[in-house]
Amino acid sequence: MSELAERVLKGELRALSRVLTLLERGDPAAAEAMATLDPYTGAGYAVGITGPPGVGKSTLVDRLTEHLRGLGLSVGILAVDPTSPFTGGALLGDRIRMQRHYLDDGVFIRSVATRGQSGGLPRIVKSMVRALDAAGKDVTLVETVGVGQTELGIMGVADSVVVAMTPESGDSIQTLKAGVMEIADLYVINKADRDGANQLSAAVTAMLQLSDLSDAWNPPVLLTQAYANVGIEELWDSVTAHRDYMNDKGGLEKRRAERRRAEFLETVQEELHRRITERLENDAELGELLRQIDGKVAEPYGAAMGLLANEGGLANLAGE
């Protein structure tokens, strides 16, 4: 057994942090550790919290963490932040976001940089959620960067997806659109003390009534005031109700199986992209092909398809 993985299984937070760092770097040691940890996953539960910027996702996570700790549950937090264009790291730090939980041994907090990946959610978060699960975290909260309707990647990470909104900023219009509104297992209207909260709740409810949910989970629409700790207990009760529903219907096992397959395929794609980019920069023959494309001697689409059709060229691209 990997010594590092063994320490993670014992609950050592320093070892867990090291595994997450290896995952971010793409270090081969991460694969060894994850292979050891994987059989010990499945007991934890992952909750994704997404929505447009400014809806109070961080405050929701903070208050939900407080509630979960009061129930005696250990919590992992993955806060996905914008990537610094200079360092490649997360712009917002975990110490700033969750200061009052930082010294709690029952809470593990990690800021994760988007690294420019589409949808605002890096592929590596899936592996991180499994690592936190193996480390014994009862609940992992994944807070997305907040990119509005394109934030669909959270579906591939969380067992339950919470979409947060506020009465302002055109959220009532967003309600009528496809995209992020279609991925929710629960809807939260935060800052519900502001004007328009009840109208937005009614609009979301009306949208749900138009959907064919007769044989499926009916997403609740919840009103919260996270800064005042209002509605947080009801939010967690609804999450547990969704978890129970998924378990009863076999949906949780199916969702997790689909997630594992997607993680495998995304990892292969990401690694192939890395290898191809590296090969294109260093291989003389491919470099000449690129120069021909630059000078309009070769046509980009035809050149790419010709290279992929050539088994030797494909093997060369993949670094074999």
What pLDDT does 152 receive? 63
Q: Which residues contact 61 (CB under 8 A, 6 or more apart)?
A: 49, 77, 79, 98, 141, 143
Exposure letters 25-61 (e unless 16+ CB within 10 A, then b): eeeeebeebbebbbeebeebbbbbbbbbeebbbbbbb
Mean per-residue pLDDT for 43-49? Answer: 95
Q: Which of 117-121, 190-194, 222-226, 255-259 has the lowest mean pLDDT?
A: 117-121
Q: Phi and psi (nearest 5°) for 9?
A: -65, -25
pLDDT of amino acid 135: 96
Q: Read off the pLDDT band of 169 (50, 70, 90).
A: low
Q: How confident is the model at residue 173 (pLDDT cuts 50, 70, 90)?
A: low
One-character DSSP codes across the chain = --HHHHHHHTT-HHHHHHHHHHHHHT-HHHHHHHHHHGGG-SSSEEEEEE-STTS-HHHHHHHHHHHHHHTT--EEEEEEEPBPTTTSSBSS-HHHH-GGGTT-TTEEEEEEE-TT-GGG--THHHHHHHHHHHTT-SEEEEE----GGG--GGGGT-SEEEEEE-SSTTHHHHTTSSSGGGG-SEEEE-STTSTTHHHHHHHHHHHHHTS--TTS----EEE-BGGGTBSHHHHHHHHHHHHHHHHHHTHHHHHHHHHHHHHHHHHHHHHHHHHHHHHHHH-HHHHHHHHHHHTTSS-HHHHHHHHHHSHHHHHHHTT-
Question: Mean pLDDT across the stretch 44-72?
Answer: 92
pLDDT for residue 36: 94
CATH of 41-249, one of 3.30.70.1350, 3.40.50.720, 3.40.50.300, 3.30.70.260: 3.40.50.300
- Beta-ladder partners of 225: 230
| Assigned token pair, 233 | 């207990």
Q: Average pLDDT, stretch 247-266?
A: 91
Q: Which amino acid is at 169?
A: S
Alpha-carbon gap, residue 258 to 155, rounded angstroms = 10
| Angle, helix 232-249 to helix 57-70, in steps of 10 degrees | 80
Tell me the average pLDDT of the chain.
Answer: 83
User: Which residue type, as a one-letter code, is found at position 214?
Assistant: S
Asked if pLDDT for residue 230 goes beyond 80, the answer is yes
Across 188-202, average pLDDT: 92
Hey, how many other C-beta atoms are within 10 angstroms of the C-beta on 109? 21
Residue with tokens 């910027």, as numbered in its chain: 53
Q: Which pLDDT band, with edges at 50, 70 and 90, does 146 fall under?
A: low
Report the alpha-carbon distance of residue 212 to residue 209 in Å, rounded: 8
Mean per-residue pLDDT for 119-147?
Answer: 86
Q: What are 82's two structure tokens? A: 């914008």
Looking at the chain, the domain(s) classified CATH 3.40.50.300 span: 41-249
